[in-house]
Structures are given as structure tokens and as C-alpha cells.
Structure 1
Amino acid sequence: MVKTTGEIDTWSTSLVEPARSFDYWIGAVCECFLEMDITTPVRRGFDCSIQRGQLDGIGVNRVQGSAQHVYRRPASVARATANYYYLLCKTDGDWRVLQNGNSSPMKTFDLVLLDSRRCYEFNFPVTADTLSLELPIPWVESWITDPDRCIGQRIDGRTGWGAALSAYACQLTPHLAIDPPLPAPVLADQLGALLALAYGSEIPATLSEQKDAAKLMDVIVRGIRLYYAEPGLTAGHVARRLRISKRSLHRCLNGAGLTFSGLLSDCRMAVARRMLSEPRFDHISISGIGLRVGLSDPSHFIRQCRKSLGVTPAVFRRQR
């Protein structure tokens, strides 16, 4: 009962007789998203639809329809064969979400990040009109250094970077996903950058050289993980972003027997290894993967892969 237009998949209760609408919807949600339990106060006359498109590695889903209460229970988590983070934004009314001990009342255009590896529930009391972005776990963890601390927490969609993230996310539609106005990796990276900025409290705005060395090291490593994809990234660039001196950065790393270039290379090669290992990234060229990890010179990327992986990226991809 899936109607496909071009590369957009559509699940809609209008495709079945009214008596089967709610049962069909439960099956559609389990097929399109994850196995979940759903209840509704309007079983008679229940009507919902999902449209789905793929933007690089991100699933862009638009849900419209009747009120419902959705549960991800322990049994469903245990049976899962694939998991994701989901960024949800309701576009037409208040709702509530619960995960990781956080019970968050949500306003229109607020956002929340959920982890399908844990139980959650959310309640759409009037309608279910929602943007749901399916985000690969490694992708999220390459942008946010501590997702466990973020899941289930409301992002205010009307102020600060949360407003910028909400406005940008709401422009993403299944139609845009299959016919993007810019290269899909560019749009995906823009989403990642705004998501990181919305959780910007992970990297303190100010630091002094008198801070505990272990804490400073943690912040430096997080900064490298956040900005590694920028071509030509230097220790000076990261130090300025973290509002510490370049000298303090190098002194902290040297005290632990580390170097900035070594940490940056390790971070980039870890992401490159993941992308070369996963078939879903096969549509991205070798040079494209190099660009994604901040290495715009293809020959330099190949040399780094040979040093880190033992073989060229093309050979590594073939041998996985």
C-alpha cells in the first residue's frame, strides 16, 4: 500500500478502506520508521499520511493527519535491526515528548532529538503534522559530542540558534530531498552545523588557561570533532573558536603527548573509514569522501588513507 512518485514514497490511509485505516497506519509507521505502538482518540475517521525522500544519508519525512500517541517500548527496542536518531519538529501545534527522563512540553516549531535505541513516547493531541528527520547515528555523533545529554530535551524553535535550525529544517521536504537546489552533502552539512550550534553549550563560550588540564583537553578534542570537516583547519582556527590561546592549546596537547595534527588526522580518518565501510555511501566518490572529511586535495587524501588504513581508499572500499 505504498504509492511512489518519482523517488518519493507515500504511505496514506486514503489507499485503504476506512475500517482498516488505523491498522494500516500502524503498519505504515513500522515500515517507514521503526516498530512502535500507537493509540488514537479518533479511531473512527482516522486519517494520516507520510511522504519520504532521501537527502544524502538523511531520511526526510513529512507526516500529516489525526491525533495520536506513539510509544517505543523495550520489546521494540530489543527487536531492532537498525537504529537512528530522529529530529522532530511539529509545525502546527503544541505536543509533548518523553525520553531519557526528560518530559518536555513542546511548542510549534520547537525541535527535539530522539534516540531509537531507547524507549520514548510522544503525544500529538490534536494533529500529527510533523517533520521527522531520520539521522544516522555516526553522523549525529560527528556533529554533537555528547548526544546522550541532548536527547529528549526541547530546542526552542523561536530564539537563538534553535530558531535558525527550526527555520532551516522546516524547509526540508521530501521533494527538496530528491531534487536539492544545492549538492545534497552541502545541505546535510548545513543541518549538522546548525544542530551543533543549537547545542553550542557543549563547548563553553570562554576558557582560561587556569582551567583543569583534563577538562581543557576534553574541550579541545570536542572542538576538533566539531570542526574537522573544514578544509585547511588549523590549531589557530580551533583555538579562536574555543576562545583560548593557540599556545594554551598546544601546551595542553603536548602535556598529554599528543599533537593537533595527529588528533585532526585521526578524527578525519575515523570518519573516512566509516564512510568507506558502509555501502550507503558508495554513491559518493573517493574525492567526495575526502571533501567530506576536510581533505580537498585527492592525492593528499589517498596518502592519508594509505598511512592510516594501510591501503588506498578505493582498495579499502573494495575489500570491505
Structure 2
Amino acid sequence: MNLQISPPTIARWSTDDIPPSQRFDYFANALTTAIVPMRVESGDPKLFTSSMTIADLGPVSVLRQTGTPHRSYRRRGDLACSGDHTFHLIVNLASPWTIRHREEIFLERGDGVLTDSNVTHDLHLARPYEVVHLKLSANWVHRWIRSPEQIVGKRLPLNSTWGRPLMAYAAQLSPQAVLGAPVAPSVIVDQVGALLALVASELSGSTRRWTGRTTQMRNRIEDCMAQRCMEPCLDASAVAKSLSVEVNVIHETLRMHGQTFGELLVSMRTNISVRMLTSPAFRLLSVSEIGRRAGFADMNTFSRTLRTRCGLTATQLRRRGHGLMI
């Protein structure tokens, strides 16, 4: 949010590169380096295996972690060694596990939890595990959520209204996916923040009423985006600058109307591309050129978006628009 994010690079830790007798200590040090200082226990350290990759996007770091069963925990004495205050969104992609963080919760596959580096935890991974772990700077979190402590340590269920899109989005993130994404890292970061804010609002039971002013601002945002959505690098910061407002105003206004910047941007670009594909006026343009003019950064993203949202390929849409048989 108004933050300059450098192109990400990937760091990797794996016990496969380490002699069996040294793997456990190596992993404990890796956790301390990449996340926060913590203690780790395992039934048989010599049989322990794990791997972790991380991409730093500035206020958000994206980690993928896999491995064998173990326990990791932080006591009060460990908190003083934490360094910068951070929050951690952890999404379970595999077998169930439990964590005590203010209260004990049980996470099924697809569920998530937000943890706080200033609070002790005790995590039990009883089976082989895989998680997406988003390390979030405290300043960034507070820009999105006024009182994050209201949801820290609570189960963020996959089956909740806004939990489902957040967990689905987070589950697709990996350092490799971020590095190869056709959008700027700031767009990925903003989408996480917007969805997390919606989940926090839902779980806290807070409601915000629309006012004439917020509706007017939403209309201004949508008008600006409609004019500029064909710019491949458009993000919320650019729209905020055009409207002379802070970027959090963009996200907060859209959130109050049940929208996110990323979703609205993709929807606008899709609508433009469909109109061009089905219009005889653009019949001489190639499919890839239409995707480029609509704002899609590459052909793969354009094709995948059309299939997901329209259920048809670009060629099928073009034939249908021209009255041809599909």
C-alpha cells in the first residue's frame, strides 16, 4: 500500500542438502532466520526432513513449507528475540494439525490461522505437512485491519464467506508463482490485504454502512479503473494517485461494497476483451493482440481468465460473436 516492492528473489532451505545427523539443527536455524526464533522437537531427528522456499515482496513474504511431523513452539523468553513485529497467515494444504495461540484450535485442510510474533505458540504437526505461510509486517497489517488482535489465534475457516476466497487465493501462492506472475508484486500484496480485511470484518461481526460519500467514491474509483484498466501495470496506488487520495481509501471503499481491487480489475479487463472478440470491428486483430489491448500481461493469463470466467476459449467467443458454429 503505497510501498515500493522490489522484484522478488527466491531463497531455499532443504534438509536434502544436509547430512542426516545435522538436519534437525539446520531446520531449526532456518526457521529462526526466515520466520522468527522458535524451538523445534521431533520424535527422531535423524529421520526428519523438511524444505522451505521464500520470496520477499517487501511488506509480505511468501513461504512454502513441507516436511515430516514435528512440534514447533515459542515460550515467553523467545519473544524478546523476535526482532521486528510480524503477523503470520498460515494456510493448511494437507493433513489436519493443531496450534495453541491464545487458544487451541484444530485446522482442517484448507483452513488458516493468523498468528502474532508477540504471542507464544505451540504447533503440533502430527503428520506430513504442507503449508503456505505469509509473513506480514505489523505496519502493513494495521493499515488493513484496525484491530488484528480480534482474529489472532482464531480458526479462519475455509467454509466462511470471505475465508474461501482468501484461502483459495493464498493456496495458489508460492515463491515460484510470485516470481513468474504477470502482475506486479504490489497487486499480489494488495489482494492479500483486501481479502484479509474482509475476513477480519466478517469474523469480528463488524458492519459498515454505505453512505452517499462512499458510494460516490466507489463510482470515482470504478470510472478511473474503467479508463485505465488496459494499462498492464495498473495497481491501486496508481488509481489513488489519479484520484488524489490515500491508497487505503481505495481498498476500504471497495471492501465496504464487497469488492476487491484485483477482482474488479480482472473483471473489467475480461469484459473489454469479450467485447473486442465478439465485435466485427476487431476481427482483423489477433487474439493475443486483443488480450494485450485489454490489459493482460501475457497470453496464458488471458486464456486462463476467459476459460474460468466465460467457460469458452477466445476462439470460441470470437466464433460465437460472428455467428459461427462453435
TM-score of the pair, normalised by structure 2 = 0.62
Residue type of the alignment partner of 1:185: S
Cα deviation, residue 114, structure 1: 0.3
Residues 178 and 38 of structure 1, relative CA distance in 2, 3 Å threshold? same
The letter of the residue matching 2:181 is P
Determine the structure 1 residue equivalent to 2:67.
65
The one of 235, 238, 246 aligned to 2:213: 235
Counterpart of 1:52?
54
Unaligned runs of 5+ in 2: 1-7, 219-233, 247-326
CA contact (8 A) 1:50 1:63 kept: yes
Correspondence 1:181 to 2:182: yes
Cα contact 2:91–2:167 (8 A) shared by 1: yes
Equivalent AA in structure 1 for residue 30 of structure 2: A
Name the amino acid aligned to 1:51: T
Q: In the TM superposition, what is the alpha-carbon distance from 1:196 to its structure 2 partner?
A: 1.1
Whether the 8 Å contact between 1:8 and 1:53 is mirrored in structure 2 is: yes
**Change in CA separation of 1:206 and 1:14 when aligned onto 2, cut-off 3 Å:** closer
| From 45, 53, 58, the counterpart of 1:43 | 45
Q: Matched residues, percent identical?
A: 26
User: Do the aligned residues in 1 keep the contact of 2:158 with 2:164 (CA within 8 Å)?
Assistant: yes
Q: Does 1:128 align with 2:106?
A: no
CA contact (8 A) 1:68 1:128 kept: no
Structure 1 residues 292, 234: closer, same or farther in 2, change over 3 A? Answer: farther
Match of 2:110 in 1: 109
Matched, 1:91 2:69: no
Cα offset for 1:11? 0.6
Distance 1:125 1:115 in 2: 22
Rounded Cα–Cα distance in structure 1 between residues aligned with 2:143 and 2:238 = 12
**1:238/1:191 Cα in 2 relative to 1: closer, same or farther (>3 Å)?**
farther
Alpha-carbon distance in 1 for matches of 2:191, 2:180: 17
Structure 2: how far apart are the matches of 1:203 and 1:238?
25
Match of 1:295 among 211, 217, 241: 241
Q: State yes or no: 1:197 paired with 2:202.
A: no
TM-score by length of 1: 0.64
Aligned equivalents of 1:87 and 1:108: distance in 2? 14
Whether the 8 Å contact between 2:187 and 2:235 is mirrored in structure 1 is no
Work out whether 1:157 is the aligned partner of 2:158.
Answer: yes
Which residue matches 1:270?
none
1:237–1:203: structure 2 CA closer, same or farther, 3 Å change rule? farther
In structure 2, the CA distance between the partners of 1:203 and 1:25, relative to structure 1 (3 Å rule), is: same
Counterpart in the other structure of 2:228: none
Report the CA distance between 1:290 and its aligned residue: 9.0
The answer as to whether partners of 2:88 and 2:136 remain within 8 angstroms in 1 is yes
Alpha-carbon distance between aligned partners in 2 of 1:293 and 1:116, rounded to the nearest angstrom: 33
**Equivalent residue, structure 2, for 1:254:** none
Deviation at 1:158, TM superposition (A): 3.0
Output the CA distance in 1 between the equivalents of 2:34 and 2:133.
11
Q: CA RMSD in A?
A: 2.8
Structure 2 letter corresponding to 1:79: C
The secondary structure found in structure 2 opposite 1:296 is helix
Aligned with 2:45: secondary structure? coil
Shift of 1:237: 2.7
- The number of aligned residues is 223
TM-fit CA distance, 1:150: 0.8
What code does the residue aligned with 1:237 have? T
Contact 2:93–2:129 (CA under 8 A) maintained in structure 1: no
Q: For residues 128-169 of structure 1, give each alpha carbon's deviation from its aligned partner in whole angstroms, at most 9, with x where no partner exists.
A: 311110001111111112111110000111332101100000
Tell me the residue number matched to 2:144. 143
SS of equivalent to 2:67: strand
- The Cα shift of 1:68 comes to 1.0
CA distance in 2, matches of 1:290, 1:195: 16
Q: Distance in 2 between matches of 1:33 and 1:293?
A: 33
Residue ranges of structure 1 left out of the alignment (5+ in a row) = 1-5, 208-222, 224-232, 241-287, 302-320
Q: Is the 8 A contact 2:187 2:236 kept in 1?
A: no
| Matched AA of 1:68 | H
Mean Cα deviation higher: 195-204 or 23-32: 195-204
